[in-house]
Structure 1
Amino acid sequence: MRIALLGLGDIAQKAYLPLVTGHTEVVPLLCTRNTQVLAQFAQQYRIEEAYSDLAELIAAKPDAVMIHSATSSHFAIATRLLQAGIAVFVDKPISDQFPECEQLINLAEQKNLPFFVGFNRRYAPLYQPALATQPLQVQYQKHRHNQCAPARTFIYDDFIHVVDFVRHVSGITSIQQCDFQLFQHSHAAELCSVQVQWHHKDALFSASMNRMAGSSFERLEYFSQDQHWQIDNLRQGEYSCHNQRQTLGFDDWQSTLYKRGFVAMLDQFIQLLKTGKTDSSANNAALLTHQLCEKILERLPQHLHR
C-alpha cells in the first residue's frame, strides 16, 4: 500500500515518519516543498518516491496521502486529493474553519473515499480498559506552561484533542446533546484557560486546558461503577477497584509512539484503506468534534474573536 506523507515538520518527523517507514504493509512516499528536507529524509529512510510538488504527487497515484502541513493549508490540499480520487489522512484539525470541515467531509462522502482524522488519544493503550466501561464521570485535562494563544489557535490546534476525546467517550451524536457550560480566562486578546462540561445519559463530562500552568502535562480521570482510572501523560497511572489500587504503566522497551496511541491509530487507518470506502459514522464523529470547537469559540468573550 503506497502512502505518502505530505509536510515534513516536527510532528511528521517525530511520529509519522518512523511509523510509516517501519510498517510492513506500507510503501512510503514523501512530499514537501522544502527540497533540502525532502532529500534528507528520502536518503535517511531510503525512500525512492519523493516529490516537491503536489501535482506530481497526485500524478504518482498513491493509495493515500497523510497531510501534516500547516493547518491553513489543509483544506486546499485535501480538496485536491479527494477530487483526484485519493484517500486522505489529515492530522488534526481538518481545518480551523468549520464550513471548510463540512465541505471536506461532504466531498469524502460524495466520492466514497476513506477520510481519517488523526486523534491519537482515542487509541492510547492505557485508556482502552476504561473506554470499555460505561462512564459515570470523565475529566480530561491537558495543560501547557506559559503558552496563552489566540482563541482560534488555542481551540483548534490544541484543545481539540481534549474536546475530541471527551466527546468520544460521552457518546453524543449531535450538537443538541451537548448543552455545555463554559469557563474561561483570558489576558489581553489571548485565551489562557478554558473548561467545558456537560451531562449526557446521567454522566458528567469535563474537558479543560490551562496554558498558564506551572508545567506541561495531561491527566485523564475516568470513573465507572466501582472503578476509577487516573492516567498521567498517557503513560502511567493508577487503577482502583473494590478499594484496591493497581499501578499502571509500560515496560521500558515499549516505544513512546505506542504509548501515545500512534501505532494503533495508523493500524486503524490502514484497515479503513483496505475497505476502499468512506466511514460515515467516523466522518460524522470527527465533524461533531470540530462543530463543538466552533460552538466553544462562539461562547467566548467578543474581544477574543478575531
Structure 2
Amino acid sequence: MTIRIAVFGAGRIGAVHARNAAALPGVEVARLVDPGTDATALAREIGAQVGTAAGTLADAELDGIIIASPTDSHAELLLAAAERGLAVFCEKPVSLDFPTVVRVTQAVEAAGIPCMIGFQRRYDPNFRAVRERIASGVSGPLEQLLMQTRDPAPPPRAYVARSGGMLRDQAIHDFDQARYMLGEEIASVHAVGGALFDEGIAAEDDIDSLMVVMVSASGRMVQMANNRRSPLGYDQRLEAHCAREVLFVENRPATDIRIAGPEGARTAPPMDYFISRFAEAYRAEMAAFAALIREGTPPLATIRDGLEAQRLAEAARVSIRTGRPVALTPGWMP
C-alpha cells in the first residue's frame, strides 16, 4: 500500500524529513505546509502540493503527518492528529510549557494513535550498537555515562527565542540518551549553567554553557557537558563505563584521510553539524515512521520518551536557578 503523509515545516529539519520520506518506496509526501517560507521549490522537488494546515488536516486520505514546524505549533498539531486518528512523527520538544506537554501526551496516548518523537540518536547505528551491547549484558552493568555535545557556533538570537533554549532544544537529546542507555529513570539532577560568551543568548535569558550530573534510580551516574560553541567543530561524543568494558562513540570526521609530513600528522575535523553527522539516523527515522504506519512496528522513541526527557530538562532549569540538586519523584513537575 502507498502511505500518504503531510509535512508541516519546510525549514532545515523539515526539508531533511520531507526528502527522506519522499525517497522511501511506497511513501508519498502529498502535502507540504509552511506559511512562513516559500515551500514551492521543495514541494516541486518531492512531488508534493503546498497546502494550508486546515486543508491538510481535513484530507481524508492522509495516513500520517510529520511535525517539523516551529515548536509553538507542535501541541496544536499533535492534538489535531489525535482527533483525526493520524500517525505522527513530531520533532522535540512538544511544547515549551511543561503542563501542556503532559496534557498533550495524555491526549495522544488516550487516542491510541501511532506517535514517535524525533530523538534521532536512538536511530544512529553507533549509539544503537552501544545501547544493544549494554542491554545484552556482555559489557557488564553500566556504571557511569559521560556525554559531550558542543555546537560549532551559537544559533541566531531569533532561533533561541522560539526554540526553548539550550536545555529544551539541544541538551534534551542528551537527557533522552541518559534514559535510553541506562534503561531506567533518573532520580536526581544537579545542573550548573550560564551565558559565558554570547550576549544575544544572555539577552534571551538562556545559557550557552552547561554541565549536569544525574543519578539514576539504582544509583548509576551520568555526566553531561554542553556548549553552544566549539573550536573543534561539531563535537558529539559518548563514553559508557561498564563493569567489564568501556564503550565509546567518537566524533565522526568529515573524511577518513590522514595527512602526514615533516611537521606531523593531521586528520579531518568532525562533520560540520548535526544534519550531516546524523544523516543516516534521519533516514532510519523516516523508515521507522513508515514501518510504524504500515506494520505497527513500535518506534524507539515515543511521546512518553519526549515527556520524560523534557522533565529532566525542566529539572535542570530549576537546579540552575536554585543552585541545588532536584530530586525527581514520580510525576515531578517544575
The alignment status of 1:274 with 2:291, answered yes or no, reads: no
| 1:61-72 paired onto structure 2 within 5 Å | 61=60, 62-72=62-72
Aligned to 2:142, the other structure's residue is in SS state coil
1:58 is matched with which residue?
57
Deviation at 1:67, TM superposition (A): 0.5
| 1:167-246 paired onto structure 2 within 5 Å | 167-173=179-185, 177-187=186-196, 188=202, 189-200=205-216, 201-214=218-231, 215-233=233-251
Aligned length: 279
Rounded to whole Å, the distance in 2 between the matches of 1:195 and 1:258 is 23
Flag the 1:258–1:142 CA change in 2: closer, same or farther, 3 A: closer
Flag the 1:36–1:102 CA change in 2: closer, same or farther, 3 A: closer
- Deviations along 1:32-65, one digit per CA (max 9) or x if unpaired, are 2449733212222233xx2421111112131110
- 8 Å Cα contact 1:109-1:280 kept in structure 2: no
- Deviations along 1:152-189, one digit per CA (max 9) or x if unpaired, are 4111111111111122212224xxx4212222233454
- 8 Å Cα contact 2:125-2:281 kept in structure 1: yes
1:289 is matched with which residue?
309
Aligned to 1:178, the other structure's residue is in SS state strand
| 1:1-306 paired onto structure 2 within 5 Å | 1-13=3-15, 15-34=16-35, 37-47=38-48, 50-61=49-60, 62-132=62-132, 133=134, 134-147=141-154, 152-173=164-185, 177-187=186-196, 188=202, 189-200=205-216, 201-214=218-231, 215-233=233-251, 256=276, 260-274=280-294, 282-301=302-321
Rounded to whole Å, the distance in 2 between the matches of 1:234 and 1:162 is 17
Rounded to whole Å, the distance in 2 between the matches of 1:93 and 1:181 is 21
- 8 Å Cα contact 2:146-2:222 kept in structure 1: yes
Deviation at 1:275, TM superposition (A): 5.2
CA-atom RMSD in angstroms:
3.0
Aligned to 1:140, the other structure's residue is in SS state strand
Rounded to whole Å, the distance in 2 between the matches of 1:258 and 1:142 is 13
State the identity as a percent.
20
- 8 Å Cα contact 1:112-1:278 kept in structure 2: no
- 8 Å Cα contact 1:162-1:208 kept in structure 2: no
Deviation at 1:90, TM superposition (A): 0.7
Deviation at 1:121, TM superposition (A): 0.5
Aligned to 1:8, the other structure's residue is in SS state coil
Deviation at 1:205, TM superposition (A): 1.4
Give the letter aligned to residue 281 of structure 2. Answer: G
Flag the 1:136–1:294 CA change in 2: closer, same or farther, 3 A: same
Flag the 1:277–1:165 CA change in 2: closer, same or farther, 3 A: closer
- 8 Å Cα contact 1:136-1:224 kept in structure 2: yes
Deviation at 1:112, TM superposition (A): 0.9
Rounded to whole Å, the distance in 1 between the matches of 2:322 and 2:51 is 41
Deviation at 1:111, TM superposition (A): 1.1
Deviates more, 1:101-110 or 1:146-155: 146-155
2:267 is matched with which residue?
none
Flag the 1:115–1:273 CA change in 2: closer, same or farther, 3 A: same
Aligned to 2:38, the other structure's residue is in SS state helix
Flag the 1:72–1:259 CA change in 2: closer, same or farther, 3 A: closer
Flag the 1:235–1:146 CA change in 2: closer, same or farther, 3 A: closer
Deviation at 1:280, TM superposition (A): 12
Give the letter aligned to residue 207 of structure 1. Answer: M
Deviation at 1:286, TM superposition (A): 2.4
Structure 2 residue ranges without an equivalent (≥5)? 135-140, 197-201, 255-274, 324-334
